[in-house]
Amino acid sequence: MLFVIDVGNTHIHLGVFRKDELVAHWDVSNDGSRTVDELGLLLKSLLAESGLAAEELTGVSAACVVPPVCATIEAAFRKYFGLKPFFAGPETERKILESFDDPREVGADRIANAVGGFHRYGGPLIVVDFGTATTFDAIAADGSYLGGAIAPGLAISIEALFKRAARLPRIELVRPPRAVAQDTVSGMQAGIIFGYAGLVEMLVRRIRREIGEEAEVVATGGMAELIVRETGIVEKVDPHLTLEGLRLIFERRGGARTLPAGGDN
């Protein structure tokens, strides 16, 4: 079995593949203060609760955009599972990044989305990932990564309103009945949800004009369903696309970088 782990700024998305089947998945908060032991025990308990044996794990494929947490993850897997994680990144996927100006600037999660998206849907393709930031990634017909756009995420937008506007409350992200709201909470919900749907539509249209109007659009990430319902421009929602990309990256490299914890490579 392969353990896959996508470390974002706010959440950590985890999954276990048995061959090409995702047999379990979890989302946990990214608490940067977790110790190696806390993380290792958490991972073991998640596996146990899903009826999966830790001894069956043969590899770990990770995308991590929070360097301090990367070190904790590596130490936890070494100590509790006897495995050294493989970390996907620009240096491991040079081929698809050949046309990008500075591959070092592309996050590992965006690379995984490009790999997973092209495998499932072909190209040209636009992947919209609703995370702490919302990213728009363009993939060419041959699978190469072209670049994209980055916008503040929904949660960041809500928090900014709450913190910077003295009389605006922290709200639950729920679709309001209409755009012309008659109370503050509904007004904030309308502005964020319907306004964000407009942001997605405009960026997708602009990217399509640049890479090809036939480009398919797929969304992933925790907030995808909420926004996709408000726009007809996104054709599919694939909640585990990043995890699938991490599996594919690991497999096409033959798992060569995931070694027993005692290995030196």
Per annotation, catalytic residue among 6, 20, 37, 109: 109
pLDDT for residue 265:
44
Extended beta strands in 65-116, E state: 86-87
The CA-based diameter of the chain, rounded to the nearest angstrom, is: 63
Amino acid, res. 194: F
pLDDT for residue 244:
97
pLDDT for residue 260:
54
Tell me the pLDDT tens digit for each residue of 30-84: 887 899 999 999 999 999 999 999 999 999 999 998 888 999 999 999 999 999 9
What element of type H or E holds 56?
Answer: none
**H helices present in the chain, as ranges:** 36-49, 67-81, 108-121, 154-164, 184-211, 224-228, 241-252
Integer Cα distance of 86 and 93 in angstroms:
13
Integer Cα distance of 117 and 191 in angstroms:
30
pLDDT for residue 156:
81
109 catalytic per annotation: yes
Integer Cα distance of 61 and 258 in angstroms:
8
Please tell me whether residue 87 adopts helix, strand or coil conformation. Answer: strand
pLDDT for residue 256:
47
Q: From the first residue on, what is the mean pLDDT of each consecutive set of 10 residues in the chain (265 residues)?
A: 93 95 95 91 96 94 91 95 93 83 88 96 96 94 94 84 73 86 88 93 96 95 89 93 96 64 48
Tell me the pLDDT tens digit for each residue of 214-234: 999 999 998 899 899 999 899
pLDDT for residue 163:
76
Domains annotated for the chain, with CATH where assigned, are 2-90 (3.30.420.40), 122-234 (3.30.420.40)
What element of type H or E holds 18?
Answer: strand 11-18
